[in-house]
Amino acid sequence: MPFRRVHPEHGAFEPRRRADRLLAAALAHGAGRSRERGRPPVSAPTGEGRLRGHVHLGLRLLEELGAPAELLHAVACHHDARAARTAESMAKKPDEKSAAWFLLGAIYERQKKYGPAEKQFRKALEVDPNDAEVLNYYGYMLAEQGIRLEEAADLVKRALAQDSGNSAYLDSLGWTYYKLNRLADAREYLLRAATASPHDPTILGHLGDVYDRLGETGLALTTWQKALAEWKHAVPADYEADKVRDLERKVTEAKKRSERNKKHTASATLH
């Protein structure tokens, strides 16, 4: 399957997939350049003079080569911290180092090394306290762990203040509110996220969870089923089997509850 065109600075991805694409694109760009001029360092200068410019070039190269999505998946799953460490050591400008720290933090988070991940995110925020990508990822990481949830909400709010329509940021805040059991707020932000990105299975999954906790089993079931349908259309680089299995379990359980409720209602009517 050909690689789907995306722009990291504008696309609204669930935080983990966004970081995976950044890392994969940077590494793939380095591999592509090595065929032309010999292997360059991962953080080789680009037209934009910064690591994120390197990522843009990587994305364009992947698209030009028609690279399969499996390439992204393979590179992203490798979790090669050496690449980001090389970028960090060779970066000269603060924003270049900040980009490397963001990638390192994302890699550590995927490895469930939350302490080292937090350290990298904090270093990046020392350079730019308003880096929306870092604020969002950091806040989402805390929310996923269910810890320091008020702090997580504040971090994501700072990201949203810069891009109020970003569905990834809306999803992160909605999910944090869900963890805080602020269900009305969670529903509001996740509905906004789903409106902005109606085919994002992660957002739909989160929204279904909110409906379920609100006792709206029918809406929860419908929304989870939509999420499963969207996962079927996801490119391999985006596919997350654990989330699909979790959704399938929830759908099965919701169907059983719905059937029990129907039987109970029918029985009550007869009596």
State mean pLDDT over 60-79.
46
Closest by CA to 152, choosing from 170, 167, 138, is 138
C-beta neighbour count of 148 within 10 angstroms: 13
166 touches 160 (CB < 8 A) = yes
Largest CA distance in the chain: 82
| Share above pLDDT 70 across residues of the chain, in percent, rounded to a whole number | 61
Mean pLDDT score, 29-58: 38
Inform me whether the pLDDT recorded for 195 exceeds 90: yes
> pTM (2 decimals)?
0.72
Contact predicate 202/221, CB 8 Å = no
Mean pLDDT computed over 161-182: 96
Q: Using the predicted structure, report yes or no on whether residue 18 has a pLDDT greater than 70.
A: no
Mean pLDDT of 247-261: 91
Q: Is 58 helix (H, G, I), strand (E, B) or coil?
A: helix
Question: H helices then E strands: how many in the chain?
Answer: 13, 0
Question: Taking a C-beta distance cutoff of 8 angstroms, is the pair 63, 22 a contact?
Answer: no
Kindly compute the dihedral angle of the four CA atoms of residues 230, 236, 241, 244, in this order, to the nearest 10 degrees.
0
**Which pLDDT value is given to residue 14?**
54
Q: How far apart are CA 208 and CA 113, in angstroms?
A: 29
Measured distance CA(68)–CA(65) in Å, rounded: 9
Quickly state the pLDDT bin for 81 (edges 50, 70, 90): low
User: In this predicted structure, which of 111-120, 169-178, 209-218 has the lowest mean pLDDT?
Assistant: 111-120
pLDDT category of residue 156 using cuts at 50, 70 and 90: very high
The pLDDT of residue 103: 78
Pairwise CA distance, residues 203 & 210, whole Å? 11
User: What pLDDT was estimated at residue 45?
Assistant: 35
* pLDDT value of residue 128: 93
pLDDT of residue 106: 81
Residues in the chain: 271
Instruction: Match 């985006």 to its residue by tokens.
Output: 238
